[in-house]
């Protein structure tokens, strides 16, 4: 694969935790750059157990939670757990941080404000120095710290997008698989970079998308409808979004009223039929193999560094094989109708 790819997944309650190592080993062997694990304590098995098993079973792939938060775990606990992941993986740990959604709301908490997230990033930076620092109204020191683990921020709305550009090592770009929507988001990351005087090279932009392929379009849509509804629910409180997406606001309102947290990523969730096919196609890559290849090529025209694909449940090894051996290699081939490259050399 010429392009850079990651995989996003969680460990389902119905899946043996020991399979995390087997699957991670296959992802590593197939040349993916990163594995991001879902941190949702009510709907998935423990994220750190999964990541530790993955670290022991892999050699090169980077590993992180996508994403953890500042509410369900104290930052000192997260920093220590991340340092352990870094040790087990020989320096391949990533820290994915977000304001909090399913994990936080499911525990009766509230998502962090923009200011709280900014402070949390600063706290992690100080903890990873391994020196004594004044935090949380006391003096603390993370005895296990060895290095500054890269901090990625899950971003979708303008404030968080700018913040990632200002202070983070990476941005996990979430929300849609629509190039126009992503361009709108990337503009705010660039604003943050400019404000802080940083260069584009100082941040890795990782676009996280969900993809389902099948010759049967309805079957492909069914696999991602529940996920699309969860996305629609997160869009409901947005004050700003691209003008073309304003048409979906009634769907966002309906999704927010019917979405069930525990069924967050379940393909069998009752809320899966709430949103329209049109919206589902906008937030996910859906269609035949060739259609998905074409849409991936469009996304690679954006100013991004990596595309992370959610590996849906049900036959994950088979899905991974199709991705590795068929779909992703095809993205690197010339598009149909493109002129063949001129390989002649002038004498």
Position 258 scores a pLDDT of 83
| Tokens describing residue 152 | 């990625």
Mean per-residue pLDDT, 32-52:
96
Segment 340-346 shows an average pLDDT of 42
Contact 172, 66 (CB under 8 A): yes
Average pLDDT over every residue of 39-57? 96
Phi, psi of 112 (to 5 degrees): -70, 150
pLDDT tier for residue 339 given thresholds of 50, 70 and 90: low
Instruction: Report residue 341's pLDDT band, with 50, 70 and 90 as the boundaries.
Output: very low
Q: Which two tokens stand for residue 114?
A: 């923009």
Task: Check residue 300 and give its pLDDT.
Answer: 97
DSSP assignment of 254-268: HHHHH--GGGTT-TT
Q: Are 334 and 343 in contact (CB under 8 A)?
A: no
CA 183, 187, 192, 198: dihedral to nearest 10 degrees?
Answer: 80
For 216-246, how does the pLDDT look when each residue is reduced to its tens digit (9 = 90+)?
999 999 999 988 998 899 898 899 999 889 9
Assign residue 32 a region: left if phi > 0, alpha if psi is -120 to 50, beta otherwise?
A: beta
β-partners of residue 133 are 140
Judge: domain 5-217+284-331, CATH 3.20.20.30: yes
Q: What 3-state class would DSSP assign to 93?
A: strand
* Position 30 pLDDT exceeds 80: yes
> What average pLDDT does this structure show over 152-160?
97
- pLDDT tens digit sequence for 258-311: 866 545 444 454 444 689 999 999 999 999 999 999 999 999 999 999 999 999
Confidence at residue 260, expressed as pLDDT on a 0 to 100 scale: 60
Q: Which of 124, 123, 122, 142 is nearest to 132 (CA)?
A: 142
DSSP 337: T
- Residue among 201, 159, 153, 156 at smallest CA distance from 175: 156
The contacts found for 107-116 with CB under 8 angstroms, 24 or more apart, are 107/41, 107/42, 107/71, 107/72, 109/71, 109/72, 110/71, 111/69, 111/71, 112/69, 112/70, 112/71, 114/159, 114/160, 114/163, 116/70
Backbone angles phi, psi at 226, to 5 degrees: -65, -40
Mean pLDDT, to the nearest integer, of 199-204? Answer: 98
- The answer to whether residue 128 scores a pLDDT higher than 80 is yes
């Amino acid at each position: 694969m010429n392009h850079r790819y990651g995989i996003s997944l969680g460990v389902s309650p119905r899946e043996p935790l020991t399979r995390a190592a087997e699957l991670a080993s296959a992802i590593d062997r197939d040349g993916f750059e990163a594995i991001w694990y879902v941190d949702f304590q009510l709907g998935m098995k423990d994220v750190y157990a999964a990541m530790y098993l993955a670290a022991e079973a892999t050699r090169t792939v980077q590993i992180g939670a996508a994403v953890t938060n500042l509410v369900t775990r104290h930052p000192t606990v997260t920093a220590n757990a991340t340092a352990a992941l870094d040790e087990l993986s020989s320096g391949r740990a990533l820290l994915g941080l977000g304001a909090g959604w399913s994990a936080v709301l499911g525990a009766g908490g509230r998502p962090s404000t923009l200011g709280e997230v900014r402070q949390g990033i600063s706290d992690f930076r100080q903890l990873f120095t391994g020196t004594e620092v004044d935090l949380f109204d006391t003096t603390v020191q993370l005895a296990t710290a060895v290095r500054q683990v890269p901090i990625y921020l899950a971003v979708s709305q303008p404030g968080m997008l700018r913040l990632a550009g200002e202070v983070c090592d990476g941005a996990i770009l979430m929300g849609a698989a629509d190039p126009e929507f992503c361009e709108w988001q990337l503009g705010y990351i660039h604003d943050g970079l400019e404000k802080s005087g940083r260069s584009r090279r100082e941040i890795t932009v990782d676009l996280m998308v969900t993809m389902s392929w099948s010759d049967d379009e309805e079957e492909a849509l069914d696999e991602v409808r529940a996920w699309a509804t969860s996305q629609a629910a997160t869009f409901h409180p947005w004050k700003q979004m691209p003008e073309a997406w304003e048409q979906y606001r009634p769907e966002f309102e309906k999704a927010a009223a019917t979405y069930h947290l525990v069924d967050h990523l379940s393909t069998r969730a009752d809320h899966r039929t709430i949103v329209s096919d049109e919206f589902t196609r906008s937030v996910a890559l859906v269609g035949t193999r060739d259609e998905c290849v074409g849409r991936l090529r469009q996304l690679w025209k954006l100013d991004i560094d990596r595309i992370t694909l959610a590996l849906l449940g049900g036959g994950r090894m088979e899905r991974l094989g199709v991705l590795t051996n068929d779909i992703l290699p095809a993205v690197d081939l010339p598009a149909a109708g493109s002129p063949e490259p001129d390989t002649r050399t002038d004498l």
